[in-house]
Structure 1
Amino acid sequence: MHTIAATTQRRRRPTVGVIAGWQFYGTMLTMSYLSPIYQGIRQAAYDLGCNLLLACGMGPSGQINEPLRPAWFDVIEDTDFVPVGPWNTHGLIIINPLQRPERSQAVQATRASGHPVIFVGSGERGPTIVADNVGGIYAALRHIVEHGHRQIAFIAGSQTDLEGDSGDRLRAFQAAMVEFGLPIDPRLIVFGRHVFTGGYEAMHRLLATGVPFTAVLASNDESAIGAITALREAGKQVPHDIAIIGFDDRIEGLLQEPALTTVRIPLFKLGYQALELMVRHIREREPLPELVQVPTRLIVRESCGCSQSAVLADTLEMIAHHPTEPTVTNLPAQAAQAMSTMLAPKMHGFTASEVSRLCQQLITAFRQSVQSARSVAFRTELAQVLKQVAAAGDDTHDWQIAISFLRDLVPRMFDPTLQPLAFELLDEARVTTSAAMRWQYWQYFNRQQQTNNRVGRLTARLLHTLAESDIYEILAHHLPELNIPLLWIGFFEAEDSDSVAWCRLRAVTASQQPVVRIRSRAFPPRQWLPTRQSFQLALIPLGGTGSEAGFVTFDASRLDLYGTITQQINAALNTARLYRAASEGQRLAEEANQLKSRFLSMVSHELQTPLNLIVGMSDLLLREITQSGNPLPSSIRDDLKRIYANARHLGRLISDVLDLASSDAGQLRLNCEIVDLGEVMRVVADAGR
């Protein structure tokens, strides 16, 4: 029965885990390469109705060159364990490169055990979905050559990733150079590790060689941006002195001055398709393909030498559509299909069928308004479409593509007498779309302001909190204001040699739930999960060692915020631990001080009794000798005097100790008496003889 239930669950709502070979957060912001991949995976999971566990690593520092430290499913060096692995998923999506051989070995062992795994990016044995690295590098190099460049340098990725994307792009560069009849100078090939500082250092090494070059092709955008920074510091202008092309099409490149020409990888599509393939494999036993290549495309901007700003490049991309020409016999349906084909890759909040439906409705309303000479239907439908697009978080500006496409179809769609009205409606639609985009911007700006203010209030309260219980209360109060419905915090507990065998899990945003202790690899607890709908959870490590190591779990809807909030939680918990340790230390010190005072008081009283006897007896002897008239030898009499004086001195010292003990207890009594300094000095002199 258990096997049947598990099979039914797998086919109905399978759980897929996602793990990357480096951190998702670095540290306050999402790493932009992983972010669209995760978005694509999330959208596919929503569309297909499956569960999702996202392992989101947190960088150990705020430095731009911080080490790569992924959230991982095993306890190994330079990783942070989170409970996302083969034991609580039906399949895993692994994003390459994995950076270390021990990580690769762990994943391959998982594959060998029969657990389904699909890789995003090349570098590992097994089913893989990857961008067309060869086609992208070839297109970029051809563009550089068309600008007249012959001495071209290459900033490769990582030397530890020669079986992955780094190696694929390096070999593609070398092959394309040969095809174009250009010499390959080994001194002009350097490695930049696909990071900003790596690209920066690589460019300095290229300049230091003294080998002339006029263009650079970088294996990714981040190293290209680092190289541009190094060139600027060296007094070189891009592209006037040296042209540069990147690879990835990250948003940072779009915002560069000059804007970075790059090869676009459809990262959202990579993630979406990886999840889609995995779910089909789990539900329908469809074999995972060994290799799926997703096309890349050269995005021409300014850094290559073309005079296309980021704005102009975006405009040209919108108007340079080349759909299949629809036939007159079935013009509306084919036009809707062609429009959907152009828009679907940009509409991440909709399925392809939903985009197709929106296009059909828009074309139908457009035809109806033109033919009836009444613009209400088209205006209303366009407003509804733009409203839905904005609500889904997509860019309303992209629907300018639809308007341009409709404008091209007007001569084939309407009689000449109706065409002026059609063009007039489309001109109005452009203004409407621009207004919708402006409204969307103000909505975004307003939400960001509110979010910043609320995060600021949360931060301020956490900074002044010293008790762990207060931290949980503050989070439970403020997170709903940020539209964060779920936060669980777990701390690991060891069992034998397994340091993460168990975890104590607290549902912070559901304070009525008791703290549970579960097997870490049995996460998530079933009693906390929805029974009739799928879940998407993001797991982020909490820094610490031993009993302080743990993780936080959020609903995956606000990945952009969770890095900041996790840092605040981590800092607040560390402060609470330090305060608790300091308070415990103070308590122990106070107890030790009290024990010391009691000890001194007891010992002092024990010493005073024999001392009083010595003082009294020596005083009696001295008086008796003086009164009897039978003097003792002077040496004996002097010894008795010293015994008497030193005993009294020691008695006063013991009294001082008792006074100090009384002072610690807040009971010190001060007596105002006349002090005979001569007597004091005589005692000192006698004691020193």
Structure 2
Amino acid sequence: MPSRKQRNPTPSLLEVAKLAGVSPATVSRVLHNYPHIRDELRTKVLEAIASLGYEPNRVAQRLRATQSHLIGMIVTDITNPFFNTIMASIENVFFNKGFSLLMSNTASDPEKELAYLSMMENEGVAGLVIATTSENVDAVAKLADKGLPIVIIDRRMTKGKVDMVLSDNVAGAFSAVEHLIQLGHTRIGHIGGPLRLTSGRERYQGYQQAMLQAGLPIEDSWVRFGDHRHQSGYEQTLELLNSNPSLTALFIENNMMTLGALNAIHDCGRRIPDDIAIVGFDDMPWSVSLNPPLTTVAQATYDIGTRVATRLLERIEQPDLPPRTDIVPTTLIVRESSGAKQSS
């Protein structure tokens, strides 16, 4: 007598997703009662669960009693004006949509990052905006796989179903160095950010491309890498100028290191731009108040914040969207620190 085909007694989450025609992340979000899932998607998932007799484990059964209206945001340096403007833009969008923002600052510490990621999960945030400490943070990828909507800011990540919003770092750095070359400089130093971050590598790439395109040499001794903070900008610039006194220009990779570099240049007794020309990255409100005013690559911080918030809202509403990356153009703002003549 032929054996009767037995129904799988323990259907998996993947089988539920396949039957419902959605991603596993969407099934997970329905199980965890995430808000803002379209009714038709929720119905499909619930019908597939009922049809297969799927029984989620105890963790998945811990459904939230109320819908979350909390957005998590984790940055690496809350004192950096770059993040301040972006946070203000993000908060404005979410406030108008009825969400509150929960802020955390890792100070670029991976251990703090893990702790805050755990806290965000426990708080049941509806979505997360994060500037990661590196491009491969497994905990972020795992949260995304569980169904948490995530947007990465000012970085790229190679893992996880996440959206990303960042400036065009390569083009921005290229424009800065090209500007110095057009002013006649051939010995241009670079104070870069951490190469573990894609932003640091991309801005270094832009520096290299501009030098190579102009047929200029790139000496390893002309380049130093800091940690995006004021003190590292000061120390790296002091070391660079003391070991390479013939450099006539510097391109510095972020705003806080630029401030440190300016202090180092003044302590060396050099005049800007007569002895050394300077171009920074990030246009801050105080850039025009410096003496001389700072030539810099401006990031569209408010626009970045708005895009981040918009992408996260879209991801909350439509969890099965493919991962998206927004590259936001930069603008070179020419002032006196590079030695360019100003139009009257």
TM-score, normalised relative to structure 2: 0.74
Mapped contact 1:154–1:217 kept (Cα < 8 A): yes
Mapped contact 2:135–2:156 kept (Cα < 8 A): no
Q: 2:87 aligns with which of 38, 42, 46?
A: 38
Which residue of structure 2 lines up, in the alignment, with residue 210 of structure 1?
244
Q: Which AA in structure 2 matches 1:53?
A: L
Equivalent-residue separation in structure 1 for 2:111 and 2:73 (angstroms): 7
Which residue of structure 2 lines up, in the alignment, with residue 55 of structure 1?
103
Q: CA deviation at 1:283?
A: 1.6
Mapped contact 1:220–1:247 kept (Cα < 8 A): yes
Q: CA deviation at 1:160?
A: 3.2
Q: Which AA in structure 1 matches 2:104?
A: C
Equivalent-residue separation in structure 2 for 1:50 and 1:109 (angstroms): 27
What are the residue-to-residue correspondences of 1:243-392 with 2, within 5 Å? 243-285=277-319, 287-308=321-342
**Greater relative CO, 1 or 2 (CA 8 Å, sep 6+):** 2
Identity of aligned residues (%): 26
What's the secondary structure of 1:246's corresponding residue? strand
Equivalent-residue separation in structure 2 for 1:73 and 1:203 (angstroms): 29
Q: Which AA in structure 2 matches 1:57?
A: N
What are the residue-to-residue correspondences of 1:562-641 with 2, within 5 Å? none
What's the secondary structure of 2:81's corresponding residue? coil
Q: For the structure 1 residues 5 and 179, does the alpha-carbon distance in structure 2 shift closer, same or farther, using more than 3 Å as the test?
A: closer
Which residue of structure 2 lines up, in the alignment, with residue 153 of structure 1?
189
What are the residue-to-residue correspondences of 1:410-425 with 2, within 5 Å? none
Provide Cα deviations, 1:525-548, integer angstroms capped at 9, x if missing partner: xxxxxxxxxxxxxxxxxxxxxxxx
What are the residue-to-residue correspondences of 1:112-123 with 2, within 5 Å? 112-123=145-156
Aligned residue pair count: 286
Which residue of structure 2 lines up, in the alignment, with residue 137 of structure 1?
173
Q: Which AA in structure 2 matches 1:93?
A: V
Equivalent-residue separation in structure 1 for 2:176 and 2:30 (angstroms): 52
127-136 or 202-211, which deviates more: 202-211
Mapped contact 1:85–1:92 kept (Cα < 8 A): no
What's the secondary structure of 1:182's corresponding residue? coil
Q: For the structure 1 residues 142 and 53, does the alpha-carbon distance in structure 2 shift closer, same or farther, using more than 3 Å as the test?
A: same
What's the secondary structure of 2:120's corresponding residue? coil
Equivalent-residue separation in structure 1 for 2:31 and 2:228 (angstroms): 46
Q: For the structure 1 residues 155 and 127, does the alpha-carbon distance in structure 2 shift closer, same or farther, using more than 3 Å as the test?
A: same
Equivalent-residue separation in structure 1 for 2:196 and 2:36 (angstroms): 40
Q: For the structure 1 residues 68 and 95, does the alpha-carbon distance in structure 2 shift closer, same or farther, using more than 3 Å as the test?
A: closer
What's the secondary structure of 2:246's corresponding residue? coil
What's the secondary structure of 2:196's corresponding residue? helix
What's the secondary structure of 2:105's corresponding residue? coil
Q: 1:111 aligns with which of 128, 144, 147?
A: 144
The question of 1:172 aligning with 2:220 is answered no
What's the secondary structure of 1:181's corresponding residue? coil
Equivalent-residue separation in structure 1 for 2:32 and 2:200 (angstroms): 43
Q: Which AA in structure 2 matches 1:272?
A: T
Q: CA deviation at 1:100?
A: 9.4
Mapped contact 1:21–1:70 kept (Cα < 8 A): no
Which residue of structure 2 lines up, in the alignment, with residue 17 of structure 1?
71
Equivalent-residue separation in structure 2 for 1:155 and 1:23 (angstroms): 19
Unaligned runs of 5+ in 2: 1-28, 40-66
Mapped contact 2:222–2:244 kept (Cα < 8 A): no
Mapped contact 1:55–1:84 kept (Cα < 8 A): no
Q: Which AA in structure 1 matches 2:163?
A: P
Provide Cα deviations, 1:467-517, integer angstroms capped at 9, x if missing partner: xxxxxxxxxxxxxxxxxxxxxxxxxxxxxxxxxxxxxxxxxxxxxxxxxxx
Q: CA deviation at 1:267?
A: 1.0
Q: Which AA in structure 1 matches 2:86?
A: I
Q: CA deviation at 1:199?
A: 1.0
What are the residue-to-residue correspondences of 1:192-207 with 2, within 5 Å? 192-207=226-241
111-120 or 269-278, which deviates more: 111-120
Equivalent-residue separation in structure 2 for 1:276 and 1:72 (angstroms): 27
Q: For the structure 1 residues 86 and 281, does the alpha-carbon distance in structure 2 shift closer, same or farther, using more than 3 Å as the test?
A: farther
Q: For the structure 1 residues 218 and 8, does the alpha-carbon distance in structure 2 shift closer, same or farther, using more than 3 Å as the test?
A: closer
Q: Which AA in structure 1 matches 2:172?
A: G
What's the secondary structure of 1:18's corresponding residue? strand
Provide Cα deviations, 1:566-597, integer angstroms capped at 9, x if missing partner: xxxxxxxxxxxxxxxxxxxxxxxxxxxxxxxx
Which residue of structure 1 lines up, in the alignment, with residue 276 of structure 2?
242
Q: CA deviation at 1:91?
A: 1.9
136-145 or 120-129, which deviates more: 120-129
Q: Which has the higher helix share?
A: 1
What's the secondary structure of 1:85's corresponding residue? helix
Equivalent-residue separation in structure 1 for 2:98 and 2:134 (angstroms): 29
What's the secondary structure of 1:84's corresponding residue? helix
Equivalent-residue separation in structure 2 for 1:183 and 1:284 (angstroms): 49
Q: Which AA in structure 2 matches 1:132?
A: D
Q: CA deviation at 1:143?
A: 1.1
What's the secondary structure of 2:309's corresponding residue? helix
What are the residue-to-residue correspondences of 1:670-685 with 2, within 5 Å? none
Which residue of structure 2 lines up, in the alignment, with residue 95 of structure 1?
131
Equivalent-residue separation in structure 2 for 1:14 and 1:284 (angstroms): 16
What are the residue-to-residue correspondences of 1:72-83 with 2, within 5 Å? 74-75=114-115, 83=119
Q: Which AA in structure 2 matches 1:121?
A: D
TM-score, normalised relative to structure 1: 0.38
Q: For the structure 1 residues 74 and 190, does the alpha-carbon distance in structure 2 shift closer, same or farther, using more than 3 Å as the test?
A: closer
Q: CA deviation at 1:259?
A: 1.2
